[in-house]
Structure 1
Amino acid sequence: MAFETEIPEQPAARLARLNAELRTASAQEILRAAISREWPGELTYVSSFGAESVVMLSLIAEVDPSLPIVFIDTGMHFPQTLDYKDEVIEGLGLTGVREITPNETERKVLDPKNMLWKSDADACCALRKVRPLEPALEGFGAWITGRKRFHGGARMSLPVFEYADGRYKVNPLASWTQADVDAYLAEKNLPRHPLVSQGYPSIGCWPCTKPAADPSDPRSGRWAGQQKTECGLHVDRNERPRVF
């Protein structure tokens, strides 16, 4: 008797199915489908604990507070970010947060004085963010991001589900507006990152983050004066700048 072998769903077909089914779904519905149905035990969230991160973290806490959450400690975060991270973890009862850091041997060779950001921001991001994330994602079939279309740039055409570099990405907040974010923060009475009130609507590492120059562009304070708009985490491997 011959047994039929189930053929795995190919990425293109899976993306088409998920984006058709959940394109207009709420963030909560998207998260529940991703966590419980599509990638049980294979899903993580990569969080910067930045200006709007608490929204996604709160949504995750409602569905599964033990979900693995990756925080990349670049060694260049604002002190306020590190304090805020601890406050949010405790307040939301998150139990799956894991911190990763750059390879210290590599850092000592490539950036011994911690000044690489001055001469080559792409190389600094590659050293401190992009390369540390690769091993942290091993074993996960998909990861959640907090990106939104209103952030502009390449994010304006952001789908709810993507596939890149061998993994799926889930963007539950893709369609959210700034008004949606503000309303959710108020409804849940969530703490704001302390730098938001000082004019930082988007927060990364301190050397490359300034108050937004353009209030209508939340990311205008990131790498101000440069053509760079992304750290590289959400850029396909073959499209990243060549460094080192």
Structure 2
Amino acid sequence: MADADPDIRIRDRIVVAPRFTQADADALNARFDGVSTRDMLATALGEGLFGRVAAVSSFGAESAVLLHLIASVDRSVPVLFLETGKHFPETLAYRDLLVGRLGLTDFRDLHPDAALLAAKDATGLRWSYDPDGCCDLRKVEPLARALTGFDASFTGRKAFQSVTRTALPRFELDTADAAGRLKINPLITWTPADIDAYFAEHALPRHPLVEQGFPSIGCQPCTNRVKPGEDPRSGRWTGWEKVECGIHKPLLDDDPNLPSF
């Protein structure tokens, strides 16, 4: 039989295996159990354990800590910010300050789809009667689009922030992604004292709204001041049975709340 013609293009094969499995997440949790956050980041990023990875940042009250840790290892890690069009001006100024101060070389603003906004929130007031729908349009959908090109993402979630985050592991599967994207929570075990100490040690600037009573900062219409001693996230979506914007909420195929666009 004659050898195959080397100029004939072999049809590309579609890889259907998930990028990460639960077994992979379990193995990473075991391998880095007890390892400091910076050492974990240095090892994992240095060895390419996460594949194509991005950091998703709100540039909120504590965001500078994770961004500084990542930048201290690799400033080229893409940093994704959801520019919802509803942020406090102070958040946008703080974003620009940190990007420059930390030397982040691949910062990306993510914007809602203009056609979807025109069709589903033409007045810009959907937050006032359907905050879930507003978050879907301005956060969930744009982030889902952006993350299709990545195998893993960093989040800034911490166990102390709310009861919905107390049991989160350091490494987990992104349940909104059927292809097995990994979600990494480097600061999940950090305490408020740890955060404060890191800010002080590295002279990191604080979000200007923190001292005004905003320990958790989201979009301006849905963020209120928090009284001392209250859950740090109790000022988010006050009066609604809502504790997450949706980018971290498990989404199942048969979930009636799954956004459709």
TM-score, normalised via structure 2 length? 0.86
Residue by residue, what CA displacement relative to the aligned partner does 1:34-90 show, whole Å, maximum 9, x if unpaired?
322244650000001011000001001100011101011000000000011001111
2:55–2:79: 8 Å Cα contact kept in structure 1? Answer: yes
Q: For residue 212 of structure 1, what is the aligned residue in structure 2? A: 226
In structure 2, what is the Cα distance between the partners aligned to 1:11 and 1:205? Answer: 33
SS in 2 for 1:128: helix
In structure 1, what is the Cα distance between the partners aligned to 2:138 and 2:203? Answer: 33
In structure 2, what is the Cα distance between the partners aligned to 1:56 and 1:222? Answer: 21
Q: For residue 39 of structure 2, what is the aligned residue in structure 1? A: 29
Q: For residue 27 of structure 2, what is the aligned residue in structure 1? A: 17
Q: For residue 10 of structure 2, what is the aligned residue in structure 1? A: none
1:214–1:220: 8 Å Cα contact kept in structure 2? Answer: no
In structure 2, what is the Cα distance between the partners aligned to 1:36 and 1:156? Answer: 29
Q: For residue 257 of structure 2, what is the aligned residue in structure 1? A: 241
Gaps of 5+ in 2: 1-16
Return closer, same or farther for 1:175/1:240 CA change in 2, 3 Å cut-off.
farther
Q: For residue 165 of structure 2, what is the aligned residue in structure 1? A: 155
1:42–1:140: 8 Å Cα contact kept in structure 2? Answer: yes
1:213–1:220: 8 Å Cα contact kept in structure 2? Answer: no
In structure 1, what is the Cα distance between the partners aligned to 2:43 and 2:152? Answer: 12
Q: For residue 6 of structure 2, what is the aligned residue in structure 1? A: none
What is the one-letter code of the residue matched to 2:133?
A
Gaps of 5+ in 1: 1-6
In structure 2, what is the Cα distance between the partners aligned to 1:242 and 1:19? Answer: 29
- What is the root-mean-square deviation of aligned Cα atoms in Å? 1.8
Residue 92 of structure 1: which of 67, 90, 102 is its match? Answer: 102
Q: For residue 240 of structure 2, what is the aligned residue in structure 1? A: 226
TM-score, normalised via structure 1 length? 0.92
In structure 2, what is the Cα distance between the partners aligned to 1:212 and 1:46? Answer: 24
In structure 1, what is the Cα distance between the partners aligned to 2:99 and 2:20? Answer: 36
User: Kindly, what percent of the aligned residue pairs are identical?
Assistant: 48
SS in 2 for 1:157: coil
Residue by residue, what CA displacement relative to the aligned partner does 1:213-240 show, whole Å, maximum 9, x if unpaired?
4534110100112110000001122258
Q: How many residues align?
A: 238
Q: For residue 4 of structure 1, what is the aligned residue in structure 2? A: none
| Greater helix share, structure number | 1
Question: Displacement of 1:99 after TM fit?
Answer: 0.6
